[in-house]
Structure 1
């Protein structure tokens, strides 16, 4: 029987060479980057697959797998062509390894590979690097061909004789690939706007229920994490969804709903400002006053007086 420590132990993959060993592949041709065909990977059964993390970026386009991967709190069945991107130090687990049959490409690179390039400063601005796997990008046939073309271009450069231009070409192609991915994620948000509007209604319902219950008085203000957990999405993905529909991040949207509720209480009740602040979940009335004035350019008392 495994101990709790063994069950919670995370296997860390520090380098591209370790990733190759982990995947049953020969040594990489470059110490900091590799382009891998999933068909070449040997998914051998190992306890390391139960929980592992990579100190590497990964960009993968996958198709046709019966295996299951857990990323964050979510399971994903790879039965459709999807694209996933992950940043270093994110935790994974893979289940049903004996059934894993994947085609496609895995591009993996160490942060040092792009360190001397402008990409290093902007790569973490791409929200999709922190999405959970079940929030993956679903590509159209045309988009898939473009991504595969860029992957093959990187693979071609990777397999060519290395010269002083090799890294420049590969980093530039990765940069271009990420711009395309960003475009496709935005397309996915737009085409799924109806679904996102449904999520907006769920956010509204969660916030309304929160403000109308005693929960806020015990747990304080509603948080981005509270909403994300209840909707089974990551905080980053939720903010991107709301921004696409409302133009506001999740925190900004929470503040907007807070102010709307405060205005109702100020205009329809005789509760003091301190009592309203407490009802909304604020620990201190000063914090409520500051937020209200920041959003409305008036203090709560000034708003009440102008309304009256």
Structure 2
């Protein structure tokens, strides 16, 4: 199943030289930007990363995330955060565009972190990719070009400027996605729902059979969030239109699908890791939510 790829792992895998600041330690601020041409030659493994990445992809391929696969046949922006296990499988030799990567330490104040953490980049329910039109492509090309030039400069405050370019890019992405479902909410219900969704997402992915899911019910999450379960349920239903239990079941089902497809564990091991006391309980749960047994799903082409 997915493991966590560090920045060191990333540079080794792609045989790239990290910037000098990378050697200041694992907690040091990190930012880098590259053109994709000549770098994205092979498939990226299904992993979580311990960094953020914004990719502007020109080239055909398949983007795998959670239990989904999206066919990419036109320019697309892909947003990935440490919450999201994903992989990229190229389907054409033409792989152009750009990508930038950065860590939390690069966001050097709380306001900056809020911009990133409240954006689509970090929303667990947000679609991590979307296709862009010609005007949007021009803006992305321009911003990535500014980043590439600044990375080569000797300007004393280059990292402040790079940080500014990053924020502009995130805001451009938020503007591009204005017609989608992401809206910044300020109500108490929305804040509680965001806390619940973040806590839910932090339970995943399950990285080993010994990693047992700890929070499985609405009561578990309410207790962790220090609210009454009825209050949590009302807030989540008001903001998302789904119950707390529905969100939990959907996320467990999504993780089960990913484990069945990408892990070599037995069905029993998957059942136990997802908090089911007996494999039969897991079988019943999975069939209820997918209309398929775990064994049948594992051997299918879905």
Q: TM-score range by the shorter chain?
A: 0.5 to 0.7
Structure 1, gaps ≥5 residues long: 1-7, 191-219, 222-247, 256-308
Q: Does 1:161 align with 2:147?
A: no
Matched length? 187
> Cα gap change, 1:28/1:98 in structure 2, threshold over 3 Å: closer, same or farther?
farther
Q: How does 1:188-199 map to 2 (within 5 A)?
A: none
> Cα gap change, 1:105/1:29 in structure 2, threshold over 3 Å: closer, same or farther?
farther
| Aligned match of 1:124 | 117
Whole-Å Cα distance in 1 between the matches of residues 100 and 93 of structure 2?
A: 19
Matching residue within 55, 58, 66 for 1:63: 58
Deviation, 1:168, is: 0.9
Whole-Å Cα distance in 1 between the matches of residues 165 and 34 of structure 2?
A: 16
| Aligned match of 2:212 | none
Deviation, 1:86, is: 1.4
Larger radius of gyration: 1
Whole-Å Cα distance in 2 between the matches of residues 23 and 89 of structure 1?
A: 22
Structure 2, gaps ≥5 residues long: 23-29, 183-216, 219-237, 245-302
Deviation, 1:20, is: 2.3
Q: Quick check: which one's helix share is greater?
A: 1
- The one-character-per-residue Cα deviations of 1:77-115 (angstroms, maximum 9, x if unpaired) are 2211011111124211344x5746421011101111113
Higher RCO structure (Cα 8 Å, ≥6 apart): 2
| Aligned match of 2:34 | 36
> Cα gap change, 1:141/1:94 in structure 2, threshold over 3 Å: closer, same or farther?
closer
- The one-character-per-residue Cα deviations of 1:255-290 (angstroms, maximum 9, x if unpaired) are 9xxxxxxxxxxxxxxxxxxxxxxxxxxxxxxxxxxx
Judge conservation of contact 2:54–2:99 (CA < 8 Å) in 1: yes
Judge conservation of contact 2:120–2:126 (CA < 8 Å) in 1: no
Q: Does 1:143 align with 2:141?
A: no
Deviation, 1:134, is: 6.3
Deviation, 1:54, is: 0.8
| Aligned match of 1:303 | none
TM-score of the pair, normalised by structure 1: 0.52
Matching residue within 58, 71, 74 for 1:80: 74
Q: How does 1:1-308 map to 2 (within 5 A)?
A: 8=1, 10-15=2-7, 17-28=8-19, 30-31=21-22, 32-44=30-42, 49-65=44-60, 67-95=61-89, 99=92, 101-116=94-109, 118-130=111-123, 136-161=129-154, 163=156, 165-187=157-179, 249-251=239-241
Where 1:168 maps in the other structure, the secondary structure is helix
> Cα gap change, 1:128/1:13 in structure 2, threshold over 3 Å: closer, same or farther?
closer
TM-score of the pair, normalised by structure 2: 0.53
Deviation, 1:183, is: 0.9
Where 1:118 maps in the other structure, the secondary structure is helix
Whole-Å Cα distance in 1 between the matches of residues 6 and 138 of structure 2?
A: 31
Judge conservation of contact 1:33–1:107 (CA < 8 Å) in 2: yes
Whole-Å Cα distance in 2 between the matches of residues 12 and 117 of structure 1?
A: 25
